[in-house]
Amino acid sequence: MSFRSGFCSFVGRPNAGKSTLTNALVGSKIVITSAKPQTTRHAVRGIVTRPGAQLVLVDTPGLHRPRTLLGQRLNDVVRNALADVDVVGFCVPADQKIGPGDRFIAAELAELRAPVVAIVTKTDAASRDQVAAQLAAVAELGDFVDIVPVSATAGTQVDLLTDLLIGHLPEGPQLYPDDVITDNDTDTRIAELIREAALEGVRDELPHSIAVTVQEMGPREARPDITNVFATIHLERSSQKGIVIGAKGARLKQIGTTARAGIEQLLGTRVHLDLHVAVEADWQRDPKKLDRLGF
């Protein structure tokens, strides 16, 4: 029996449900999710292995009109990912009207050689009539090989979508071992879990300003069953520190508590998480600072 393997990139405007969908197809949380825009900042690979096929999902940042150098670089991440994939999943939420952002992305996708599957996401958040109307509206956006409605949170039609995407892959060898679900390194996954915790409940202007780096990680000398993680939350302005730290450090403590639970699940050990907050003035616009922070 022939084996199929290849790459699929999910694209869409910010908050189209790409990361939640990636996690649903992989069957494990490999990408952080948030209602805040620009949550995904790197191309994250999730790996779905089935008998006879391996689908490598590339979750990308939302395509948008950039206002900063970071925004430009995030768009570059998307375009680089699209250049190398075998099939594209174009995500459009069922509960939001099609707008200029969707049309902009559809026009870009029309230039690709790879087949494009249109995915109407978040069907659990819309009525049956809304979903039907959105399917019809999406069909007007371009020439898609398939159009499929899904709910990643409810699991509706997730397996069907996987089958459709695999059907567009070429014959090829298995690319990753059976038990690998992502090729993201551990430091990056930990930094992202901390950033996800920091994004919860902050004001709209702050999420773009938050970046996280892991300085050091390793087992505690006297207690090898505990992993010490030292990380820094980077902000752009001194005035933002008070928001992230909170009254008497309460908010920073909550960020640590939330993030630690996810990190312990990831590492399979108890974790001591030491968080610091630092200001990197206007890092979104400074090439050297962006490079240092991993963008």
**61 and 124 inside one domain:** yes
Residues of the chain with pLDDT under 70: 1, 30-44, 59-75, 77-78, 81, 201-208, 286, 290, 293-295
Q: How many domains does the chain have?
A: 2
Q: Is residue 178 part of a domain?
A: no
DSSP class per residue in 79-117: HHHHHT-SEEEEEEETTS---HHHHHHHHHHTT-SS-EE
Per-residue confidence (pLDDT) for residue 199, from 0 to 100: 80
Q: Is residue 175 part of a domain?
A: no
Could you give the CA distance from residue 243 to residue 285 in angstroms, rounded to a whole number? 22
Strand order in the sheet with 87-93: 44-50, 53-59, 4-11, 87-93, 116-121, 146-149
> Which of 133, 167, 201 is the C-terminal boundary of a domain?
167
**78 and 218 inside one domain:** no
Per-residue confidence (pLDDT) for residue 211, from 0 to 100: 84
The C-alpha R_g of the chain, in whole angstroms, comes to: 20
Q: Is residue 271 a contact partner of residue 226, using CB atoms and an 8 Å limit?
A: yes
Q: Which domain does 212 fall in, by range?
A: 186-292
Q: Is residue 180 part of a domain?
A: no
Per-residue confidence (pLDDT) for residue 151, from 0 to 100: 96
SS3 of 145-204: CEEEECECCCCECHHHHHHHHHHCCCECCCCCCCCCCECCCHHHHHHHHHHHHHHCCCCC
pTM above 0.75, yes or no: no
CATH code (residue 268):
3.30.300.20
| Tens of pLDDT, residues 213-224 | 888 888 888 888
Per-residue confidence (pLDDT) for residue 192, from 0 to 100: 81
Which two three-digit tokens encode residue 181?
Answer: 């679900």
Per-residue confidence (pLDDT) for residue 120, from 0 to 100: 97
**11 and 113 inside one domain:** yes
> Which of 111, 140, 167 is the C-terminal boundary of a domain?
167
**14 and 148 inside one domain:** yes
DSSP tag of 37 = T
Q: At what angle do helices 69-83 and 100-109 cross, to 10 degrees?
A: 40
* Strand-pair category, 53-59 with 270-279: unpaired
Phi, psi of 283 (to 5 degrees): -65, -25
Per-residue confidence (pLDDT) for residue 246, from 0 to 100: 87
Q: Is residue 176 part of a domain?
A: no
